Amino acid sequence: MLVNRLLTGARARAPLQTSLLETWRLRGRTASSYSASSEPSKVRALIYGNHGDPAKVIQLKNLELTAVGGSDVHVRMLAAPVNPADINMIQGNYGLLPKLPAVGGNEGVGQVVAVGSSVSGLKPGDWVILASAGLGTWRTEAVFSEKALIQVPKDVPLQSAATLSVNPCTAYRMLMDFEQLQPGDSVIQNASNSGVGQAVIQIASALRLKTINVVRDRPDIRKLMDKLKDLGADYVLTEEELRMPETKTIFKDLPLPRLALNCVGGKSSTELLRHLAPGGTMVTYGGMAKQPVIASVSLLIFKDVKLRGFWLSQWKNNHSLDEFKEMILTLCNLIHQGQLTAPTCSEVALQDYQKALEASMKPFVSSKQILTM
């Protein structure tokens, strides 16, 4: 089965990044450095009380840490990325909006400081990620319910752990759930340099699938293409190149893709549909162009293409926590085997959050911003 193939046949990748972990250890901030205390402590958090421009509504404030109850876990956050969904949530145009005021961030990794008397699955020193969105990870410390946390191996590079629960999971589910793909089959995607796109390339390579990767043209396009090929991309094309007749020569060497992954919309998604195999599926999981998906009547009738959508939060609502944990374990195995690395990241201290927000909202984002605590 394809899932089993993910756990074998490792192919060497670039060295995994460990700088955040090294920084953490140099500061001496290990779990043993802290002990549980009945006294409330102050934590720093990035909070927004209204929806709007993240640069204007996000503020760094002090919060009082709540007491640890019987089923609670006191977590010191280590690192948390700034994802497009985080920005959209602050702007107020996302499918899940927490009650305001809210702490920003939906993803990240932390270390357990103390546990309540009823907690049996976690202990001080364990690394954990959040099982669901909307809980707020852009803070130095927090108290979460044990049910809201998933333990991850401490030997996973910190940047990989901090970016594990959203983009790689989205990539994995889209590759596994919509078409019964076999080794040698092909997948086409746009936004290939995004966090999801990079994860798709690597997981597909582990599955021995071929990938056709579409990116927007930019000044450093050749550098970007080389980077994606180093990750395992078989073909990398600009959106303009995908429209050229010469592109058809690619399919002399591989079958038409049965799966297309769309994060852009507009003309880009229409081009993906044109290259789908008859009966193939296009899955839309984002809309960077802020334009609708347009599918011609002829493609729907004569090629019987299927249009689907995917949202990881909805998948979690329809599946058990154990299934999510199993997926996290599979992805951690890929990381251990060198088949899945974190996207290129830039570390930004929590107090310099404005820098991270501004960088995350630029047109061409080449590095994921990671807030360090």
Active site members: 94
Own/partner long-range contacts of 207-211 (Cβ < 8 Å, ≥24 apart): 207/2, 207/5, 207/6, 207/175, 207/181, 207/183, 208/5, 208/9, 208/183, 208/184, 209/175, 209/181, 209/183, 209/184, 209/185, 210/184, 210/185, 210/186, 210/234, 210/235, 210/254, 211/186, 211/187, 211/235
Cα gap 257→242, rounded to integer Å: 14
Q: Are 271 and 245 in contact (CB under 8 A)?
A: no
Tell how far CA 220 is from the center of its chain: 24
Q: Let me know if 188 is exposed, middle or buried by CB neighbors in 10 A (0-12, 13-18, 19+).
A: buried
Element of type H or E holding 42? strand 42-48
Measure Cα distances from 158 to 125, 141, 202, 337 in Å: 14, 17, 18, 16
Smallest CA-to-CA distance from 255 within 180, 175, 183 is with: 183
Q: What angle do CA 108, 110, 112 make, to 5 degrees?
A: 155
Which residues, including other chains, have CB under 8 Å from residue 185's CB and lie 6 or more apart?
Answer: 179, 209, 210, 255, 257, 258, 259
Return d(Cα 21, Cα 352) in angstroms, integer: 19
Any residues with CB less than 8 A from the CB of 244 and at least 6 apart, and which?
none
